[in-house]
Amino acid sequence: MEGYLDSFGNVLKAIRKERKLTQKMLSQDICSQSVLSRIENGEELPNVLVMQQLCQRLGVTIDQVMLYNSTDVKEADELLELMAYHFRKKEYKVLDELLKRPGLIEQLYLDTDIQLYFYYLGSCEFFLRGNCENALSLLKQGLSYTFKLDKMHVSKEEIQLISCIGKVYGDMGNLEEAEQYLKKSIHLFYRLPNRRGNVELTKIFYNYASFLFKKRQYALANEHIDSGIQLARQKNSFYYLEDLFQLKSKLLKKNNREQESLVYQQLSAEVQRIAKFGENGLHHS
């Protein structure tokens, strides 16, 4: 029984941290924070109702928690990390090949992992094949796994999906739907408990800013560009920083600020150069 208690508590803690939830946030209206602490430390076994409610808030089933440490799960986690790496690098062809692995979806045990699977599929449809209808369908399918309108705590994956859906709607010319999703993603970002830890969310600022730029709402676009750049710099990340610098350069040029525009164009080129140097350094090491 002790091993079971320890295993359940450790897994619960790992998933809670992955979701960026504090003990107070997870236990709210379910049990006391001290009870949750004892559960996570393997000192107490929750009753079935509490166990179910905790798992539900984390977006997992009790069975999924029990399977967390299996070999298949660890292999799936490693594959997801590899896919996330190629996704961040915008290497969609490589990502597309990884997604075609036989039986991949059967290996995924968490709803959020299945959500990421559809996020990556939808992104490949959009960026590789330019198929907006398929991309939209896949992205919405991914979002449906965990997202509800009245959900108290959202994940960075859900926010990215919402933003990406908005981007696809924008490319389809459905501007009203596009703005609704893009604005929603920014609103949810500011409700996250640990915003600076989510480097991938730089992209949502680029998505909304580029949409506003096309609508010639330059002042608002500039605000979101600066927010995205600030987030990237806080975490020393290059993710979508090159794109934000390019967009900033275009915006400044539209406002006849040629010299400042050139500065940001050079910054964009510098980020691209550093990123490529980093990749070459990894390949030669």
- The CATH number covering residue 24 comes to 1.10.260.40
Q: SS3 sequence, the chain?
A: CHHHHHHHHHHHHHHHHHCCCCHHHHHCCCCCHHHHHHHHCCCCCCCHHHHHHHHHHHCCCHHHHHCCCCHHHHHHHHHHHHHHHHHHCCCHHHHHHHHCCCCHHHHCCCHHHHHHHHHHHHHHHHHCCCCHHHHHHHHHHHHHCCCCCCCCCCCHHHHHHHHHHHHHHHHCCCHHHHHHHHHHHHHHHCCCCCHHHCHHHHHHHHHHHHHHHHCCCHHHHHHHHHHHHHHHHHCCCCCCHHHHHHHHHHHHHHCCCHHHHHHHHHHHHHHHHHHHHHHHHHHHC
Residue that wins the pLDDT comparison between 149 and 58: 58
Residues 180 and 208 in one domain: no
Angle, helix 48-58 to helix 33-40, in steps of 10 degrees: 90
- End-to-end C-alpha distance for the chain, whole angstroms: 47
Q: Is 136 exposed, middle or buried (0-12, 13-18, 19+ CB in 10 A)?
A: buried
Angle, helix 241-254 to helix 202-214, in steps of 10 degrees: 30
Q: End of a domain among 192, 208, 232?
A: 192
CATH number of the domain encompassing residue 232 = 1.25.40.10
Q: Are the beta carbons of 26 and 84 closer than 8 angstroms?
A: no
Query: Distance (Å, rounded) from C-alpha 176 to C-alpha 158?
Result: 20
Residues 201 and 270 in one domain: yes
Return the structure tokens found at 89.
């690098």
Average pLDDT for 211-236? 94
Tokens 């979508």 correspond to 240
Domain extent, residue 261, equals 194-285
Q: What is the pLDDT of residue 68?
A: 66
Q: Has residue 186 got a pLDDT over 80?
A: yes
Residues 184 and 229 in one domain: no
pLDDT tens profile 93-146: 999 999 998 888 877 767 778 889 999 999 999 999 999 999 999 999 999 877
Query: Distance (Å, rounded) from C-alpha 139 to C-alpha 245?
Result: 27
Residues 22 and 74 in one domain: no
If you average pLDDT over each of 100-109, 192-201, 204-213, 276-285, which comes out highest?
A: 204-213
Residues 61 and 165 in one domain: no
Q: What is the pLDDT of residue 4?
A: 45
CA 47 to chain CA mean position, Å = 33
Q: What total of structural domains would you count in the chain? A: 3
Q: Residue type for 131, please? A: N
Q: How confident is the model at residue 70 (pLDDT cuts 50, 70, 90)?
A: low
Residues 248 and 266 in one domain: yes
Q: What is the pLDDT of residue 2?
A: 43
Task: Give 42's contacts (C-beta < 8 A, 6+ positions apart).
Answer: 2, 5, 6, 8, 9, 10
Residues 238 and 273 in one domain: yes
